[in-house]
A and B are shown apart, each in its own frame.
Chain A
Amino acid sequence: MAAILGFGAMKSVSTAEPSISYNFEVRPLLASKCFACHGADAAKRKGKLRLDDGAVALEKKAVVPGDPAASLLLERISSTDEDEVMPPPEKHDPLSDAEKNLLRRWIAQGAKYEKHWAFIPPVKPVTPVVAGVSHPIDAIVGDVLAKKGWLPAPEADREQWLRRVSLALTGLPPSIQDIDGFLADTSAEAYERVVDRLLKSPHYGERMAIIWLDAARYGDTYGRHEDADSEVWPWRDWVIRAFNENLPYDKFIQWQMAGDMLPNATQDQVVATAFHRLPVQSNESGSDPDEFRWDQVFDRVKTTSTAVLGLTLECSRCHDHKYDPITRRDYYQLAAFLNNIDELGLFSRFTNGIPTPTTFVYKEDQQAQHQKLKLAVEQAESEWNSARKQAAGRYAGWLKGNQPPGTGSGLWASLSGLGQVPRKPALPREPELYESFDLVDLKQRAFLIDSDPSVATVGTIKTSEDLTGKFGKACVFPKDKPKKYGVPKLAHYLRWQPFSFSLWFRCGKVPEKGVILHRSRGGLDAANRGYEITFESGKLTATLGHFYPGNAIRVQATDDLDFKEWRQIGFTYDGSSRAAGMKLFVDGKELPVKIIRDHLYKDIDYLAEWGDLDSVKVADATAKEAIMLQIGGRNLDSGIRDAAMDELRAYDAELSTAEMALLGGAEAKEDNPGWIDWYAREIDVPAKNALQKLTLARKEESDFSTHLTEMMVMSEMKGPRRNTPMLVRGDFRQPGECVQPGTPAALLPFPKDAPLDRRGLAQWMTDPQNPLTSRVEVNRIWAMLFGRGLVATQEDFGVQGRVPSDPALLDWLAVHFVESGWDIKALCREIVLSKTYRQSSLPFDPKTRKDDPDNLLLASGPRFRLPAEQLRDAALAASGLINPAVGGRSVKPYQPAGLWEDSGTQHVYEQDTGDKLYRRSLYTFWRRTCPPPTMSVFDAPTREFCLVRRESTLTPLQALALMDDTGFLESARVLAEKLVRQHPQMAEQNDRVEDAFRLLTARVPTEVQKKAMSTLINEARDHYTKNPKDAATLLSSTGASKADESLSAVEVASTMLMTRALLSSDAFVSSY
């Protein structure tokens, strides 16, 4: 009601009948009572009547402007007939007389419809003239108060304002020096000086970041199922930096939406896009990647619309929005902008691989170094190419006295058809691994490896199995039961190494999906780390991957192949990390392939450094499943059945087509061009050197990238956009018509010059004419400073949201903000220096509080409980324990033992030590399935989804946390030590109390309070003097920092009771 009065007052209508605002009076009423059946949702619409659309209402004669009697709306709401009256009685939601009267008067006044207020671009209101007030904020607020006949509250005490503004802008309380300095500064600029100091502090960025971390659902883990660590803190660092450097808000949004697409994007611009990679992800085996990929997209739409536009679009996923002018098509058009990255939708279960797309986050000169190494690879590649060409010239000469192996008679010829079984691998290249499957250890029931018969391939052989192979025995994969063999130790190839495989293969029917061989840890959701030769969609496929799909190379045979008879399968790779460097062969002939993925930039190994081996302890990763070359199947994947394999060879070189032809039983005469490659690789010294140099350069680049920080970011897929179908009922299994990217037309047309991608979306969002973006941001800042937004529903500016408590003030701020160049620091400065903000939190007349309990009219200053982070930080600051370092990896301060361990997420909480325990709370590690309890208990969100407004509750658990959490206790103890050190004499006890008050509440205690706390110290001293052991126990059991043994334990313990009490006092936990 206050809101409506406030607005009415603004209009200064002088007639007896004030004009009724459709937007602020009529529409909210219609929305609550009528729009469900007579609104935008065509499916639910009754009698084809829309009351939200003036034209339809007019046409249907629901409203006849100026003539209530003729208006059917009035007739129906006034009816006493149960079948006629609206809303229908079964809704149990009748209109009151006042509401009916409002509608009647609105129609009488002409039934003027307006577009919803928040969808009309803000216009700067004329600042009212109010005596003694110069600032527009104060003038607008003062005008409302004056019309109400209220006086503003007196100015807050200086100490109170200083504490309020220090916490508001830096999240930290003022020190005693700050307080004394401010009290002593009687100059006219004293207040401004404080504000400028605070805005310059690096802690300003930290404080501002927290609000955005909530909105962006920032956490340190992926959030679902096994909830592994996600390493996205570089994004948090960027947010802090952006605020500290006062990046204009339009840029702040543009970078996060599309920084990667800006011309010559800087690292910061790319890192900023991690904003869109923070939706929770799962890693459960058997998850459908499509389902979980859609969840990512849905969450991007939700977060973007809630955090930036103040709109809730979730309902339009399934149907047109019932209240706001957002259609289902609008929803999917927005989704289409955010649906074009090469992502899996899941994180990996078997590795700590970063879900793609990703970027390296370079430190110091790492980027230059990396660039240098990449150039060295390019250089070495070109040297190798020319060396090979030159070698080709020398090959003819070499041929005169020599012959390539295998072109005459001998073992190689035997391979190509003479039927002898080569026990020993032979020239032209020794395989690293040769497995004929002829040697069987019947005791172990396993095959022995020919190249090292002491090594058995893991697996069991049934003696009843028919082991007839292409040559001698074969490895058999039965029809009914999956079977796989591991080959330990050998064929551990990396992305910089050339390598090749050859094997003979037979199977009844080519499976849709089946693993022929691989070196990885698991299928389905392992994101395909390692190398593998598989059937995918029934086609022969080879993949090298760090994290599939975005960090991998994959080629796939274009033809369907039949393996009913024994055929050779070959694979070669040149170490280039490029799909073009991969070849597939059958029967010695190279297959035409299609490139499926071509972006590999991190190694395909499993490393402890990356946390692949021990971060998530997977139950099925037994020794048997340790990472090794495996044939015929894979953990959590489909193997091959009704099949057999023979003559498996692995080479640590890229075999030439000539060699592969021989291995495939085909001919390779000496004029086969493949022999030139063989010659260059094996014989020609300059070429051999060039190849060695190239391999070394690739290794160096790969090793360098291994140690880089990598993070999820946005990056558009190459080629055509991914289709975005409108999903029926939002169900990923029911794709409908496809849509192109687009923005809701009802809000603002898409800029003509903007590209139809994320850049354009960002441009549309930050267009000065966008009616929402600036209002939402100034409202967010206002809520941060006053504890309540001018629009109370910060998350919803739509028709169902609250109307602004002071529309003129909101619009003045919004327009002013855009005019200032979206300058957030300037906006904060403006507000905290206003008389409105500087008011005492106690109103001039206490009775006004009754009329306006939410302080909508701003007749007093803000009062609210400190957010969770500020409570802990203020305690750390007061005690002096705080570690003021800015930025960096998250830390693990005190937490009750066992919380993670008991949760089944298989994570162990390893509490940090030393000064990491005292870092500011925004650096506390945030496990989204089990958030830090001292934060949760004070209403911090779980960060699993976007939240732009925290509740403020009051529960006994909060009291327990303040009094008994190790962190708060340690602050109480260390503060007590400080006080005893400064005021060692018992006679100075009151000074201790006074200093504690000033440190914790910025003001001096009253005599009553001083006495109460002094008495507490005395009583505690009585106890601890009698029980000195208790004192020692208390001091030694409150935190990791060492107790100061030079001080009297009794004095410190007694004083600590006082500091512990004050840490719980309302004056400490509140800002007022």
Chain B
Amino acid sequence: MHCNRYAGTRHLTRREWLGATGYGVASAALASLLGGGPTAQAHHGLPLIPHFAPKAKRVICLFMSGGMSQLDSFDYKPVLKEREQQPLPASVFNGRKPLGMSKLQANFPMQGSAFDFKQHGQSGAWLSDRFPHLAKQADRICFLKGMVSEAVNHDPAIIYINSGDQLPGRPSMGSWISYGLGTENENLPAFIVLVTKKGADQPLSSRLWDSGFLPSQHQAVPFRAGSEPVLYLNNPPGLPQSLHRKMLDHLREVQQDELARRGEAEIEARIEQYEMAFRMQTSVPGLVDVASEKQQTLDLYGPDVRTPGSFAYNCVLARRMCESGVRFVQLYHPGWDHHGLLKTAFAETSKEVDQPAAALLHDLSERGLLKDTLVMFVSEFGRTPYSQGALKEGGEYGREHHRDAFTCWLAGAGVKTGITHGATDDFGFDVVEGKVTVNDFHATFMHLMGIQHDRFVYPFQGRDFRLTDVAGKLVKEILA
């Protein structure tokens, strides 16, 4: 563990830590920053990381917020249809009490999916008919059907899968990556979040992409739909860029005079910080200019692609960010919390996601980016095989949160293509093989990025913290 190279104690302040590890800073002068002082933003990662040659240079994480039903998407369970409305056998519960809202339920009728399932591609992966586009990409995908979580409420579960802990305060996975690997593009943040602009059914708090106890520069920069993609990016109206540049130049004169007299590295760092800000101001508008894409490409992503803030739009942005060297792009798409009216609502939400997600895989692959980009398709938990409440008119039903089995998938760098890892029982209730915990999932994606999860720690409050907490096992079976 590299932190131990520093004699005396493991518990350092961040500054000491930087000094001890030779933290990559933009300018040599910054190495002698004064007490509690700043460091430059362009951070190229920790010296010992990656621990070994990475397969993935960057990540696009498509986060399906609300708890996507595995039983209506990728985990085909014909038994539920065959025995629909019969009670889920007590043996399946195996002594466990139903959780969440369904703990008040008197009986637990099995609920088949309203959607048809078919096998696709050479791999014969099962997908429901709500994912016709992804179905065509089936051979690029590695399904993880044995995902399990520990939390059954949204707030704890969504923090858990993003940070490895159910309580707020830990760094998110993107922050860890930003901190460990740094950025490849000095003009852009290493970790960017894009949230689909639509009425969210479950809250998406900024803590999901927070840096926790890591230095706050590693928190995600959310890019927002609209004329100002990054907070405070635009100069006020009436202040043209040319005049703004002049202001910066004269400000630089003021600061350089200060630097000449005082010789303090902070001043130099601040001068550089303003230049970086200026470069961001000039580079971001181009980055988010989706209209500059070829018509043919845009068509791939479907009709929503021209609506800023749509999932399709964000998928194109994610690809562009990857091309620009952004390390970790995370897309949040709400709308999966289907306690009722699943048949209608699931169809709507999956339609928003299916084509853009498929197009993203295709597009990345066409451009040769998929070989070193890891695409993750994740939700915070799954849904129950029994219906929440009774079957309603029009074949409508709902499903409660379920933590003991759900499906995520990976595609791209270093991951076996066209496979399914893990399986659930006949009811989709429990994992019977290939169980992947949240910690295992983190350990595995970090491995793909060249990081050995149990050697990547941050000393804080007397303990070495890591994304995988005190657990996490590499899922070797899915590595290409």
Interface residues of A (CB under 8 A from B): 1, 4, 25, 28-29, 31-33, 91-93, 96, 98-99, 223-227, 280, 282, 284-288, 295, 306, 312, 314-315, 323-324, 480-482, 511, 513, 524, 619, 636-638, 641, 786-788, 792-793, 795-796, 798-803, 841-842, 846, 849-850, 853-855, 862-865, 896, 898, 902-906, 929-931, 933, 936-937, 939, 942, 944-945, 949, 951-961, 963-965, 969, 1005-1006, 1008-1009, 1012-1013, 1015-1016, 1019-1020, 1023, 1029-1035, 1037-1038, 1053, 1057, 1060-1062, 1064-1067, 1069-1070, 1072
Contact = CB atoms under 8 A, between A and B. Distances in A.
Query: Among A480, A513, A793, A902, which residue has the most Cβ atoms of chain B within 10 A?
Result: A902
Nearest to B8: A28
Which 10 A-B pairs rank lowest in CB-CB distance, beginning with the nearest?
Answer: A904-B200, A954-B38, A1034-B238, A286-B100, A1033-B238, A800-B462, A929-B205, A959-B277, A956-B277, A1012-B253
A845 B40 CA distance: 26
Contact of B238 (A4, A904, A1053): A1053
Query: Among A787, A951, A1062, which residue has the most Cβ atoms of chain B within 10 A?
Result: A951
Contact of B154 (A223, A284, A1069): A284
B120 interface: no
A1016 B243 CA distance: 9
Given A637-B104, A1057-B247, A1012 B36 contact: no
A324 B463 CA distance: 11
B19 A1066 contact: no
A896 B231 contact: yes
A956 B272 CA distance: 9
Contact of A324 (B102, B251, B462): B462
B315 interface: no
Interface of B: 1, 4, 7-16, 19, 32-41, 99-107, 152-156, 167-169, 195, 197, 199-207, 210, 215-217, 221, 224, 226, 228, 230-240, 242-244, 246-248, 250-251, 253-255, 257-258, 261-264, 266-267, 269-270, 273-274, 276-277, 279-281, 334, 389-390, 400-401, 455, 459, 461-463
Contacts of A226: 203
Query: Among B8, B103, B264, B274, which residue has the most Cβ atoms of chain A within 10 A?
Result: B8
A954 B273 contact: yes
Given A285-B101, A942-B206, A1066-B255, A1016 B246 contact: yes
6 contacts: A284-B155, A641-B106, A842-B264, A846-B263, A953-B38, A957-B277
Query: Among A323, A929, A954, A1031, which residue has the most Cβ atoms of chain B within 10 A?
Result: A954
Contact of B11 (A480, A796, A1060): A796
Contacts of A792: 12-13, 16
B36 A952 contact: yes
Nearest to A959: B277
Contacts of A641: 106
Contacts of B240: 1023, 1030
A903 B34 contact: no
Nearest to B3: A32
B277 A960 contact: yes
A488 to B, nearest CB: 24
A1041 to B, nearest CB: 14
A905 to B, nearest CB: 4
Contacts of A896: 228, 231-232
B236 A286 contact: no
A225 B202 CA distance: 8
Contacts, number: 332
Given A224-B155, A227-B205, A1034-B237, A960 B280 contact: yes
Given A930-B206, A1016-B247, A850 B9 contact: no
Given A853-B35, A1005-B254, A1019-B250, 10 more contacts: A32-B10, A225-B155, A286-B100, A524-B104, A787-B36, A793-B461, A853-B19, A863-B264, A903-B200, A964-B236
B106 A904 contact: no
A1033 B461 contact: no
A959 B153 contact: no
A942 B210 contact: yes
Contacts of B19: 853
Contacts of B203: 225-227, 903-906, 929
Contacts of B280: 956, 960
Contacts of A793: 11, 13, 461
A1005 B35 CA distance: 25
B453 to A, nearest CB: 15
A930 B37 CA distance: 26
Given A803-B9, A953-B39, A1008 B401 contact: no
B34 A863 contact: yes
Contacts of A1031: 238
B38 A952 contact: yes
B215 A31 contact: no
Given A896-B232, A905-B203, A1064 B243 contact: no
Given A854-B15, A896-B228, A1019-B246, A955 B41 contact: yes
Nearest to A846: B263
B206 A1034 contact: no
Contacts of B264: 842, 863, 1072
A904 B204 contact: yes
Query: Among B34, B37, B38, B248, which residue has the most Cβ atoms of chain A within 10 A?
Result: B34
A524 B246 CA distance: 61
Given A32-B10, A954-B41, A1016-B247, A480 B217 contact: no
Given A800-B9, A961-B231, A855 B35 contact: yes
B238 A956 contact: no
Contacts of B239: 1030, 1034, 1057
Contacts of B12: 792, 802
A792 to B, nearest CB: 4
B273 A1034 contact: no
Contacts of B400: 286
Contact of B106 (A280, A638, A800, A854): A638
Given A28-B8, A285-B101, A1012-B257, A323 B462 contact: yes
A1009 B254 contact: yes
B216 A951 contact: yes
Query: Among B41, B197, B230, B250, which residue has the most Cβ atoms of chain A within 10 A?
Result: B250
A802 B199 CA distance: 47
A300 to B, nearest CB: 14
B197 A902 contact: yes
Contacts of B206: 903, 929-931, 936, 942
A929 B39 contact: no
A28 B9 contact: yes
A955 B238 contact: no
A287 B37 CA distance: 43
Contacts of A1: 8
A954 B154 contact: no
Query: Among A98, A961, A1057, which residue has the most Cβ atoms of chain B within 10 A?
Result: A1057
Given A952-B36, A954-B40, A802 B4 contact: no
B216 A953 contact: yes
Nearest to A895: B231
A1065 B238 CA distance: 22
A196 B100 CA distance: 58
B270 A954 contact: yes
A961 B97 CA distance: 50
Contacts of B169: 944-945
Given A324-B462, A1013-B250, A1066 B270 contact: yes
B103 A286 contact: yes
A296 to B, nearest CB: 12
A954 B251 contact: no
A1031 B169 CA distance: 45
A4 B10 CA distance: 15
Nearest to A933: B231
A524 B226 CA distance: 39
Contacts of A854: 15-16, 34-35
Nearest to B218: A953
Contacts of B10: 31-32, 800
